[in-house]
Structure 1
Amino acid sequence: MKTSPVFEVRTIKNLRDMIEQSSKLFANKDAFRVKTKDNSYRGITFAEFKNDIDAFGTALLDLLGTEKGFVAVIGENRYEWCVTYLATINGVGVVIPLDKELPLPELENLLKQSNANAIVYSGKFHDAIKEMSSRLSNIKYFINMNTNEHEDDKFLSFWVLLEKGKKLLESGKKDYLNAPIDENAMSAMIFTSGTTGQAKAVMLSHKNICSNMMAVSASVYMDSTDSVLSILPLHHTYECTAGFLTMIYNGATITFNEGLKYIGKNLKEAQPTILILVPLILESMYNKIWEQASKDKSLKFKLKAGLFISNLLYKVFKIDIRRKLFKSVIDNVGGKLRLVISGAAALDPEVAKGFEAMGIKVLQGYGLTEASPIVAVNRDKSYRHDSVGLPLPGLDVEIINPDKEGFGEIIVKGDSVMLGYYNNDDATKAVLKDGWLYTGDLGRMDEKGFIYITGRKKNIIVTKTGKNIFPEEVEAYLNKSPYIKESLVSGRENDKNDETIVVAQIVPDMDAIKAKLKTDTVPSPEEVYKLIKAEIRAINKNMPVYKRVVDITIRENEFAKTSSKKIKRYLEKTNV
């Protein structure tokens, strides 16, 4: 299945070409708004951004030499991270974005595995990196984003190097500016934070990333009047491609979120028009709207009535008063938000419908790191809230070995498909076959080409009678309960060992349970179990008998998650 572009986009050969074009088209416009120590914001123009990229790249190349450098970068979302990424990929060598939430032994392991010869890091990692530095013989330089002076010959300052690069450029040094770029060679090494096992290093090229950026821009409208609040971690390809690089390509302005607990505050400060989110954050925002309304019966009635009226007027009479009707909600997210793109996991369609009724379009998409990462997305005027959308232009997407209901494995072919896994031929051969990427994701495609994801091939539960159960589908039912914060479903043999039953671990929402029981004290385990069990019985009535949850375990702690907020299933085993 192939689709056509919705919007015309400009062609870029590589990321250097992209930043050169953007810095000319949007020269004096702010590419970033960065918070200063006095809590005000200062703008950094596209022209200034390009100059900093060239300066830092020049300094890095001077340090590492003309042989391809491998530069790791780790830290919170910030301007220096973005400069490092593009400075490295546009003439120094291979950039290696790392997860700032990694346990230190794993960080050390990945730094060795990647063969990095330099690392640029946020100041808060200084002590940890200094401690492990003696064991990182492959790394020659440790570059701190937060210091204003070099510590010694190995521990250097990002800002001192930036100034050195500017002086080298002024003196006529053009090695970096003239460095050749091979669009088809590995330029980014991305360690996947997989939910089913150990991380693998995905090799991406300029061609991979640029083709994905152009295809996304040809599918969803964005322009230089837009702005985005960068919330998801930049090391994750979803945020890096969609929330950083695609925004720079389109001339949008980026502001950085200071942390999940500051989202509300930062939304009001930054006043973004676009957000790139995962369902966990978006659903939390939506639930808070209803929680506020639930505290006031008249407010709840007004909210429900408003949603009904806005939908009726908009869909039947084409009268759009949504943003006026829900001005207070819009103001709480900055006042200008028009579009949310949700990806990395399944989104409850009711959340998308609810935001749309308030005047905020929510478009769900689908992708994976191995595809740079976007594979499909809903369009501005052609969308379905229960689907992840249509394949991107330029990508072939097919469903292979479908069952009688049309569900099979999703495979992808096109310019954004990765080169392979770094130093891992066996893993590469397992997923790349004749140019097709075998995603391991299960789904179906309707007659219009819309894709519906069911779950991961590895997670599927097969009963003794041959029935297929997708844990993610059952979890979606469970998670609709206001008393269930999150759940993890798996299969287990029954006591007679003659059938597979569905069991679930449940993390209860204790605040909602206390409100239900009308108590300020922590409910007893027996009370919690009884309430959750009653919820499960009610939910089971909406599912076929073979999919129904038979047994549950109540958990006190939330599940371990990846940076894209997906549960690490391989760490969690259901024992009930």
Structure 2
Amino acid sequence: MRDVALAPDVTSPITGGLADGVFDLADRDPTLPLLARRADPAATVWEEVTAVEVRDEVTDLAKGLVAAGISPGHRVALMARTRYEWTVLCHALWAVGAEVVPIHPTSAREQVEWILRDAGCVAVVVEDEQGVMTVGSVCTRLPRLRHVWQLDAGALRELTERGAVVPYTTVESLRRIVLPDSTAAIVYTSGTSGRPLGCALSHRGLAYPCDVLLAGWLHTAAPPGEQPSVLAFLPFSHVYGIMIMLTCVRGGVLMAHEPEMTEAALSSALTTFRPTYLYGVPSVFEKLYKNFLRAAGQAGRGALFERAAQTARDFAAAEERRRLGGGAGPGFDLRLQHALYERTVYRRLRAALGGRVLRGTSGGSSLSRELSLFYEGIGVYVHDGYGLTESSGGITMQPLGREKSGTVGRPLPGTDVHVADDGEILVRGPSVFQGYVSDEGATRFALRGGWLATGDIGRLDSEGYLTITGRKKDIIVTSGGKSVAPAPLEQRLRMHPLVHQAVVIGDDRPCVGALITLDPEFLAHWRAVLALPGDLPGREAREENALREELARAVASANSAVSRAESIRVYRVLPEPFAPDNGLLTPSMKLRRDAIVRYCAAEIEAMYEARSQARRGPREQADWDEPDDVFR
């Protein structure tokens, strides 16, 4: 092995189960606002629910679960969007020693059946009639399933009423026998290739990264003297969302829930709730950036925004060099420019995020260094975090005062990270999972001598900062034998405002190719700005040529970061985006590469065949070194 970074050991404070977080906080600070909710999605006022009120709701619901026959070790699936009831129900299940099995609410019927059967769930909580119909269509093949509860039909109210006869001491007795190493949740992997695997995560494992982050970084999440606040909108069906929920509850961070992932819903929630800390996946931060750019263009200030954005990146890069000991920081002219744009641009951008956000975290996949520098430059430092389902979430974090954009930081205290000779990242620590449910072979393959083989490829620098370069199984090998990591190319392609998604391909092909989808909103804006004159047929032809040229620049920019042999030489623009609905994205917004290649097989063949025919001749092989594009 090479590139070793060992973090100092710490001891985890958890002595019981995760439900204790709510009860302990209610005892320490009963009137502290803990959760926030809106009576109506259009409402601008959020109702705050105190710690003691949350505890009482959890207790009453736990009594109802006991009355319904839910016992320690029973597995109960939660199949709902990110909403207030999810948090309360999750802690109620933990209070009685049950195990939570999250399922994304838009999962296909086959996926739902697989998870419910594989986990052996005795009950499932769904959100609406659609959820009831999905579960109902497979429940005859699930002999262990005894209950289907529907949130929108008042299931929690009925459970609470049913539990009125159960004494409080029953819940207290059950809660106090939950051990830290008991299984708290069975969280299924995203299933980017093959069936998802159920990861058994303990109470200790889930609590550990949350408690470490709270101990070392909570004070940075809000201005001094203010309570930190977070808007939860990513799915709680993913370990990232669960980690955010637990960090907020265990740390007394005010958390609001926004179930809708639409741009309008998130904008409304951000500007009315006004969080102090922002988290998301790279696509969220990329979309926010493109929205800023589009809004500036529509206001006739596109050039001003571009200059301000570059100044923000330059300023943040200079600050980074200073804090890492490699420079004196921004010079006088750069500080002057930055101060000017602070008054005219940056504060407006922060206002669109609610006006109170200080810092943020991106996870799920790699965030580009350029975006991280941009957000830091406008006054909202967003760092790229790293974790996976099998590690109960967080593995690394940026050390305060030594943050380095483009990396995912250093290992959390108590967590060890090694990089093997083949580049695979190995992890050891208290948060590593207990194993895969019903799959001992997969567990043995993932856990090797006490180390978790993550399947991710990366490197550690001399100071212990980890950089993720891709997934081991995603490495492309061209017919010429060149190995190519697709993630960096895809990341740079997405930086272009017109590019919504990008999938780099090329296994057993003569060159690297790409499938691209366009951002419909920015495309409409681009067309409006272009505003070519002339009759319709001629205007459409000139517009398509202009679009080709713009995308060629995006591809050239992506290619500038890699060698010629690794660069994209052919690409195709697809008419529809990859989405969970068409099975090409996971619920956590990760690409299902194998499914995409199968789904787009005809387009991929046509793309390479068209290029081959166009370049056929005595210099055929050399001509593959010249970029080309094919529109569907």
Q: Does residue 473 in structure 1 map to residue 488 in structure 2?
A: yes
Note if contact 1:55-1:164 (Cα within 8 Å) is conserved in structure 2.
no
Equivalent positions of 1:113-152 (< 5 A) are 113-124=118-129, 125-148=131-154
Task: State the Cα deviation string for residues 534-562 of structure 1 (Å, max 9, x = none).
Answer: 64356435531111112222211112211
1:430 aligns with 2:445: yes
Matched with 2:596 is 572
Structure 2 CA distance, aligned partners of 1:516 and 1:55?
A: 58
Partner of 2:387: 367
- The answer for the alignment partner of 1:283 in structure 2 is 286
Please tell me the residue identity of whatever aligns with 2:211: M
Answer yes or no: is the 8 Å Cα contact 1:227–1:252 preserved in 2.
yes
Moved more, 75-84 or 244-253: 75-84
- 1:229 match: 231
- The corresponding residue for 2:378 is 358
Flag the 1:460–1:369 CA change in 2: closer, same or farther, 3 A.
same
Which position in structure 2 is the counterpart of 1:497? none
- The reply to whether residue 74 of structure 1 matches residue 88 of structure 2 is no
- Tell me, yes or no, if structure 1 residue 103 matches structure 2 residue 108: yes
C-alpha separation in 1, matches of 2:85 and 2:406: 38
Q: 1:151 aligns to what?
A: none
For residues 158-173 of structure 1, the aligned pairs below 5 Å read 158-169=156-167, 173=170
Structure 2 portions without partners, runs of 5+: 320-328, 579-583, 598-603, 608-632
Q: Which of 29, 36, 39 is 1:36 aligned to?
A: 39
TM, length-normalised to structure 2? 0.81
Instruction: Provide the C-alpha distance between the structure 2 equivalents of 1:53 and 1:27, rounded to a whole number of angstroms.
Output: 14
2:61 aligns with one of 39, 53, 56: 56
Q: Distance in 2 between matches of 1:19 and 1:169?
A: 19
CA contact (8 A) 2:459 2:468 kept: yes
Deviates more, 1:283-292 or 1:319-328: 319-328
Secondary structure of residue in 2 paired with 1:275: strand
For the residue of structure 2 that corresponds to 1:572, the secondary structure is helix
How big is the shift at 1:458?
Answer: 0.5
Indicate the structure with greater helix content. Answer: 2
Q: 1:296 to 1:204 in 2, by over 3 A?
A: same
Which stretch of structure 1 is more off in the superposition, 526-535 or 311-320?
311-320
1:146 match: secondary structure: helix
Q: Which amino acid aligns with 1:205?
A: S
The secondary structure found in structure 2 opposite 1:367 is strand
Is the contact made by 2:83 and 2:259 (CA closer than 8 Å) also made in structure 1?
Answer: no
Residue of structure 1 aligned with 2:457, choices 442, 456, 466: 442
The letter of the residue matching 1:423 is: S
Letter in 2 for 1:368: L
**Is residue 503–residue 550 contact of structure 1 (8 Å, CA) maintained in 2?**
yes
Rounded Cα–Cα distance in structure 2 between residues aligned with 1:441 and 1:52: 41
Counterpart secondary structure, 1:221? helix
**What residue number does 2:586 align with?**
562
CA distance in structure 2 between the partners assigned to 1:344 and 1:67 by the alignment: 31
- Post-superposition Cα deviations, 1:432-462, rounded to whole Å, max 9, x if no partner, equal 1111000010000001110011101001123
Secondary structure of residue in 1 paired with 2:184: strand
1:544 equivalent in structure 2: 563
Partners in 2 of 1:210 and 1:99 — Cα distance? 22
Q: CA deviation at 1:253?
A: 0.7
Would you say the 8 A contact 1:57–1:176 is kept in 2?
A: no
Counterpart AA for 1:440? G
Structure 1 range deviating more: 288-297 or 315-324: 315-324
Task: State how far apart, in whole Å, the 1-side matches of 2:90 and 2:164 are.
Answer: 18
Distance in 2 (CA, whole Å) between partners of 1:308 and 1:441 is 33
User: Which whole-Å CA distance do the structure 2 matches of 1:173 and 1:534 have between them?
Assistant: 66
Query: Does the Cα contact within 8 Å between 1:193 and 1:562 map onto a contact in 2?
Result: yes
CA RMSD of aligned residues (A): 2.9
| 8 Å CA contact 1:399, 1:409 repeated in 2 | yes
Residues 209-218 or 248-257, more deviating: 209-218
1:396 aligns with 2:416: yes
Aligned partner of residue 449 in structure 1, secondary structure: coil
Structure 2 partner of 1:245:
246
For residues 199-247 of structure 1, give each alpha carbon's deviation from its aligned partner in whole angstroms, at most 9, with x where no partner exists.
0100000111111211222443347710111110111111111x21001
Deviation digits for residues 301-322 of structure 1 (CA, Å, limit 9, x no counterpart): 2673586389399743798968
Match of 1:420 among 435, 443, 452: 435
Give the AA of the match of 2:588: S
In 2, distance between residues paired with 1:187 and 1:481?
A: 42
Q: Which moved further from structure 2: 299-308 or 64-73?
A: 299-308
Match of 1:311 in 2: 315
> 2:600 aligns to what?
none
Whether the 8 Å contact between 1:74 and 1:121 is mirrored in structure 2 is: yes
Tell me which residue corresponds to 2:209. Answer: 212
Q: TM-score, normalised by structure 1?
A: 0.88
Listed one character per residue, the Cα deviations across residues 15-48 of structure 1 (whole Å, up to 9, x for unaligned) are 1332222222331111111111483432211111
SS at match of 1:15: coil
SS at match of 1:92: coil
Identity of aligned residues (%): 24
Q: Secondary structure at the match of 2:515?
A: strand
**2:23 equivalent in structure 1:** 20
In structure 2, distance between residues paired with 1:212 and 1:570 = 32
Q: Does the 8 Å CA contact 1:91/1:180 hold for their aligned counterparts?
A: no
Quote the Cα distance in structure 1 between the aligned partners of 2:22 and 2:382.
28
Residues in 2 aligned to 1:523 and 1:431: alpha-carbon distance in whole angstroms: 53
Corresponding residue SS for 2:591: coil
In the alignment, structure 1 residue 505 sits paired with structure 2 residue 515: yes
Does the Cα contact within 8 Å between 1:492 and 1:503 map onto a contact in 2? no
- The Cα of 1:173 is off from its aligned counterpart by 4.0
Deviation at 1:473, TM superposition (A): 1.6
Aligned residues of 2:96 and 2:171 also touching (Cα < 8 A) = no
CA contact (8 A) 2:411 2:417 kept: yes
2:251, 2:434 → 1: CA distance? 26
Tell me the secondary structure at the aligned position of residue 64 of structure 1: coil
The offset of 1:9, in angstroms, is 9.2
| Change in 2 beyond 3 A, CA 1:66/1:5 | closer
* CA distance in 2 between partners of 1:91 and 1:526 (Å): 61
Whole-Å separation in 1 of the counterparts to 2:472 and 2:145? 38
Q: Separation in 2 of the partners of 1:279 and 1:418?
A: 25
Taking the aligned partners of 1:506 and 1:544, their CA distance within structure 2 comes to 21
Aligned mates of 1:68, 1:267 — CA distance in 2: 38
* Paired AA for residue 439 in structure 1: T
Instruction: Note the residue ranges of structure 1 that are not aligned, 5 or more in a row.
Output: 149-156, 403-407, 495-499
Q: Distance in 2 between matches of 1:207 and 1:256?
A: 25
| Range moving further from structure 2, 244-253 or 296-305 | 296-305
Deviation at 1:352, TM superposition (A): 1.6
Question: Residue in 1 aligned with 2:182?
Answer: 185
Query: For residue 98 of structure 2, what is the aligned residue in structure 1?
Result: 93
C-alpha contact 2:293 2:305 (8 A) present in aligned 1 = no
Residue number among 193, 196, 199 corresponding to 2:196 in the alignment: 199
| 1:297 CA drift (Å) | 4.7
CA drift at 1:476:
2.2
Q: Distance in 1 between matches of 2:150 and 2:505?
A: 44
Partners in 2 of 1:185 and 1:89 — Cα distance?
10
2:245 partner amino acid:
F
Q: Which amino acid aligns with 1:53?
A: V
Letter matched to residue 20 of structure 2: D
| 2:218 counterpart letter in structure 1 | Y
